[in-house]
Chains A and B, each alone.
Chain A
Amino acid sequence: MSSTSQHLLLSPAELAYLHGSLSLITPGPIRPDGRSPTQFRPLTAETGILPGTNGSARICFADGTEAVVGVKAEVEKTPVPPYEFVASTEGRKGHSSAPKKSSRKSKKTTTEDEEISMDVDEDDEEAAGVNEKARVSPDWVELSVEIPGLRDDDSGTVFLTSMLTEALLADGEFVKKLWINRRFHWKLYLDIILISPPLSYPLPLLSLTTHLALLATRLPRLKSEADEDPMFDDDWAAATFLYPRQDTTSAKASNKSPKQPSAAAAAAPASRPPITLLVMAVGDNIIFDPSKEELAVADSAVAVSVAEGPSSETEPESESIPATSTKRNLHLLSVRTIDPPSRLTPPGVPNSVNAAAWGTMTAATPTTTTAATAPANESGAAKHPDARVTETEDVVGVWKAPRGGAKFGMLGAMVAKVLERGGVAEEVLDGLEGVDLT
């Protein structure tokens, strides 16, 4: 059972109320905490909190939910693939196996990425691979998620881990940053720890914290050359950022306003790590950053990973992008539906079949349907308590767990809402830019 559905205990009346207020169309959804549909909970963020790491960040919500991410890098020898000739000669066809399989040792967490990446990343690498630099492996990143109260191998945690890993590795650009020389690479360990018990589905929190930690990650400056054993500069101040950026002053200046053309021209617009946003739909409304109660009435929920990249020339397919003057070049990296916990919620009982609420026809709330047949139902329901779980039509004000899935158009609209120009992803990235990176 996924972690979205844990400790979920809400009464049918609450659920019906929440669903009703969130699916309002005319004034838009009324969220229980009064936020607008695209508004996130305010958060406090800082980076560089752990001096023992290469990069770290901490984000906390006002309700006390708090996540810490530490990034550690180690130099590791790149294993020489025994079947290199296979990869080079026959690599076009039998590429899926030889060089990667050999490097799969006991990397428990990343094996699946290999498996996926076979069809997505590696192929690109090899297709684009004119030099050795392309020989990178998703094994170089190891990501672990720790959520208090859940086991490491809990499927919910595994799902979160693979979702975050997937976003990081999907475009294959990230691992290229870890290449040192032909014999060595950086191995990056990302440890994501949720400090508080998960009060809501922690995906956006973990993703934003990881984003900041990666932005703050620095690797020591390389002093050696070519394929020597790597030597590094001891001076931490000289260390280079994993995600290079313009000098801080211009970054600060471009914080609110669109990037100055001069800054953009000076350096290629810094690419940024991916962010994963949680989007849910209730009725026809699309809502961002849902709290636990809101997610409990979701008709569908989707995690969308987006990265901002430079329109770099290494990507063969990106040449079709018109060089627009907009500030962000967003890539869709991954989309996953998330099992909304609403499917596990207890259904409400319409008054018309409720054995314990008899006589409701005279009450102030005329039920919209089946009022006439109610007396018959009552006696039936009284005799067979289980009768209440039999099918009832949708009655206004009575909660029923949603069935089926989401419409094609709705899923598309949710993704589009994230990606569109001036959409939520851009605004979140704008907001994250304001965080002081130390």
Chain B
Amino acid sequence: MPITILQPSLAPPAKLRDADSDSDSEGGADLEGDIAMGRPAKRARTQDSSIMTPGEIITDDPQWMRGHGTYVIPGASSNTILSSVAGTLAKTNKLLSVRPLRARYTPEIGDLVVGRIVEVQAKRWRVDVGGTLLAQLPLSAINLPGGIQRRRTETDELQIRTFFSEGELLVAEVQQLYNDGAAVLHTRSLKYGKLRNGVFMSVTGTGGGGGVVRARRQAFTLDISGTDEVSGSEKIDVLLGVNGYIWISKHIEGEGAAAETSGPGITRIEESVGLNVYSSQNDIIPVDTMREIARVRGVVTALVENGLRVDEEMVTKGYAEAVEMAKEERDSADTLWLGGERGKRLANALVGR
């Protein structure tokens, strides 16, 4: 059936997901401040009053300090803190802040992000990372080919497009933040650089608990040789940018963000800076790998459409589940498609419903 036309249905009643999602979402380490878009459910159980709407008075106790998402009325009772966004309340020591339930990406130092070059300037690139402002990547914050350590010269400035040009994708780390919230990126590591051999997808702007969450590992490798159709030992790299931009690509030994967390130190960088860091030429990719890449992409789409968080654990489990599903219905032709009803089945299998 080439076309599926559904009747509109009422939005399902808001699920109280504390009870069932707890068991499987508690796995990861509780990083500070990771309420982000990911798991409002976790806190909702203990603090029901933590959901704030704009204008709501949070406290008038002068011991608290105001953080993001709050404001105070200047004047007499200046210790009244009010919420300025709809979201969940977070308390860090004596700092009160409200995290919006659904928002554009707010960069934080150390975030691993996937970005797209939108503008090339004389000494820097401007990178779309899905935030409110474009991030900057200065020419001095990239590795030169071959890992040469030297000052950037005029020649480098003239050739700036040979490193990155408009439209190209890169993986980078947030190095610094300006006062206005704009991020400065760097790619001074073997893990970072231009992306190739794969597909891009964006899951930003998805509310309702979906989206990429900050986790211990944003980049990981999936072994696809488990599917018996795949010959050889191919692997797939999955790069979950904290900003909701995702890159899924063929794994190449010794390359990519998922390669080695304890990569070579700065001393060895000259020897091994990938010779392909600025290449825009794809390698020859086996058909099986392409198919599995599409499957992983389908898994992520299904996760997002069903309001589940996107992290290593969910993607790995979801992928295994999708492979199982494909094995079960081996005779039907389109086992790759994971939208609509099939996506729902996958999501239900994942959360154990």
Q: Judge A-B direct contact (beta carbons within 8 Å).
A: yes
Q: Which residues of A contact B (CB under 8 A)?
A: 9-14, 16-18, 20-21, 24, 26-27, 30-36, 38-46, 58, 62, 288, 345-346, 348-351, 354-360, 362-365, 367, 382, 385, 388, 395-399, 424, 427-428, 431-432, 434-436
Say whether B281 contacts A397, CB under 8 Å.
yes
Say whether A363 contacts B275, CB under 8 Å.
yes
Q: What's the minimum C-beta distance from A347 to chain B, rounded to whole angstroms?
A: 9
Q: What's the minimum C-beta distance from B278 to chain A, rounded to whole angstroms?
A: 4
A7 to B1, CA, bound (A): 32
Chain B residues whose C-beta falls within 8 Å of the C-beta of A432 in the assembled complex: 3, 5
Say whether B282 contacts A398, CB under 8 Å.
yes
Say whether A46 contacts B4, CB under 8 Å.
no
Q: Assess whether B194 is interfacial by the CB under 8 Å rule.
A: yes
Q: List 5 A-B contacts (CB under 8 A).
A: A11-B200, A17-B196, A20-B282, A33-B294, A45-B7
Say whether B284 contacts A358, CB under 8 Å.
no
Q: What's the minimum C-beta distance from A90 to chain B, rounded to whole angstroms?
A: 49
**What are the 9 tightest A-B residue pairs by CB atom distance, in nearest-first order?**
A34-B336, A13-B196, A397-B282, A356-B278, A42-B4, A431-B3, A11-B168, A40-B3, A348-B280
Say whether B5 contacts A349, CB under 8 Å.
no
Chain A minimum-CB-distance residue to B252: A364
Chain A residues whose C-beta falls within 8 Å of the C-beta of B6 in the assembled complex: 42-45
Chain B residues whose C-beta falls within 8 Å of the C-beta of A363 in the assembled complex: 275-276
Say whether A36 contacts B337, CB under 8 Å.
yes
Q: Which of B171-214 contact A (CB under 8 A)?
A: 194-201
Q: Assess whether B295 is interfacial by the CB under 8 Å rule.
A: yes
A427 to B5, CA, bound (A): 12
Chain B residues whose C-beta falls within 8 Å of the C-beta of A424 in the assembled complex: 2
Say whether B5 contacts A13, CB under 8 Å.
no
Q: What's the minimum C-beta distance from B171 to chain A, rounded to whole angstroms?
A: 12
Q: Assess whether B287 is interfacial by the CB under 8 Å rule.
A: yes
Among B166, B275, B279, B337, the residue within 8 A (CB) of A34 is B337
Say whether A388 contacts B275, CB under 8 Å.
no
Chain A minimum-CB-distance residue to B2: A38
Stretch touching chain A among B30-38, B97-105, B157-165? B157-165
Say whether A398 contacts B281, CB under 8 Å.
yes
Contacts A13-B195, A36-B333, A45-B5 given; does A357 touch B277 at CB 8 Å: yes
Chain A minimum-CB-distance residue to B338: A34
Among A9, A42, A45, the residue within 8 A (CB) of B118 is A9
Q: What's the minimum C-beta distance from B246 to chain A, rounded to whole angstroms?
A: 12
Q: What's the minimum C-beta distance from B233 to chain A, rounded to whole angstroms?
A: 15
What number of B residues sit within 8 Å (CB to CB) of A? 58
Say whether A11 contacts B275, CB under 8 Å.
no
Chain A minimum-CB-distance residue to B160: A385
Chain B residues whose C-beta falls within 8 Å of the C-beta of A13 in the assembled complex: 168-169, 194-198, 280-282
Contacts A21-B290, A397-B281 given; does A355 touch B196 at CB 8 Å: no
Contacts A30-B336, A348-B281 given; does A355 touch B162 at CB 8 Å: yes
Chain A residues whose C-beta falls within 8 Å of the C-beta of B301 in the assembled complex: 33
A428 to B305, CA, bound (A): 24
Q: Assess whether B110 is interfacial by the CB under 8 Å rule.
A: no
Q: What's the minimum C-beta distance from A336 to chain B, rounded to whole angstroms?
A: 22
6 more A-B residue pairs beyond the given contacts A346-B167, A396-B282, A435-B5, with a C-beta to C-beta distance below 8 A? A11-B196, A13-B281, A40-B4, A46-B8, A356-B277, A397-B283
Say whether B275 contacts A358, CB under 8 Å.
yes
Say whether B283 contacts A364, CB under 8 Å.
yes
Say whether B275 contacts A357, CB under 8 Å.
yes
Say whether B280 contacts A360, CB under 8 Å.
no
Q: What's the minimum C-beta distance from B303 to chain A, rounded to whole angstroms?
A: 13
A416 to B162, CA, bound (A): 44
A241 to B194, CA, bound (A): 58
Q: What's the minimum C-beta distance from A36 to chain B, rounded to whole angstroms?
A: 5
Chain A residues whose C-beta falls within 8 Å of the C-beta of B2 in the assembled complex: 36, 38-40, 288, 424, 427-428, 431
Say whether B162 contacts A388, CB under 8 Å.
yes
Say whether B3 contacts A360, CB under 8 Å.
no
Chain B minimum-CB-distance residue to A381: B162
Q: What's the minimum C-beta distance from A414 to chain B, rounded to whole angstroms?
A: 15
Chain A residues whose C-beta falls within 8 Å of the C-beta of B333 in the assembled complex: 36
Say whether B337 contacts A9, CB under 8 Å.
no
Chain B minimum-CB-distance residue to A435: B5
Chain B minimum-CB-distance residue to A26: B287
A383 to B3, CA, bound (A): 54
Q: What's the minimum C-beta distance from B44 to chain A, rounded to whole angstroms?
A: 26
Q: What's the minimum C-beta distance from A41 to chain B, rounded to whole angstroms?
A: 7
Chain A residues whose C-beta falls within 8 Å of the C-beta of B196 in the assembled complex: 11, 13, 17
Chain B residues whose C-beta falls within 8 Å of the C-beta of A11 in the assembled complex: 116, 167-169, 194-196, 200, 280
Q: Assess whether B146 is interfacial by the CB under 8 Å rule.
A: yes
Chain B residues whose C-beta falls within 8 Å of the C-beta of A30 in the assembled complex: 287, 290-291, 294, 336
A261 to B61, CA, bound (A): 79
Say whether A385 contacts B297, CB under 8 Å.
no
Q: Assess whether B26 is interfacial by the CB under 8 Å rule.
A: no
Say whether B281 contacts A365, CB under 8 Å.
yes
Q: What's the minimum C-beta distance from B126 to chain A, rounded to whole angstroms?
A: 12
Say whether B287 contacts A397, CB under 8 Å.
no
Among A58, A62, A385, A397, the residue within 8 A (CB) of B305 is A62
Chain A residues whose C-beta falls within 8 Å of the C-beta of B337 in the assembled complex: 33-36, 39
Say whether A18 contacts B199, CB under 8 Å.
yes
Chain A minimum-CB-distance residue to B163: A356
Contacts A13-B169, A35-B337 given; does A385 touch B280 at CB 8 Å: no
Q: What's the minimum C-beta distance from B262 to chain A, rounded to whole angstroms?
A: 22
Say whether A431 contacts B339, CB under 8 Å.
no
Q: Assess whether B122 is interfacial by the CB under 8 Å rule.
A: no
Say whether A12 contacts B168, CB under 8 Å.
yes
Q: What's the minimum C-beta distance from B342 to chain A, rounded to whole angstroms?
A: 9
Chain B residues whose C-beta falls within 8 Å of the C-beta of A364 in the assembled complex: 252, 283
Contacts A14-B199, A36-B2, A432-B5 given; does A351 touch B279 at CB 8 Å: yes
Q: Assess whether B54 is interfacial by the CB under 8 Å rule.
A: no
Contacts A36-B334, A43-B4, A362-B275 given; does A17 touch B198 at CB 8 Å: yes
Chain B minimum-CB-distance residue to A35: B337
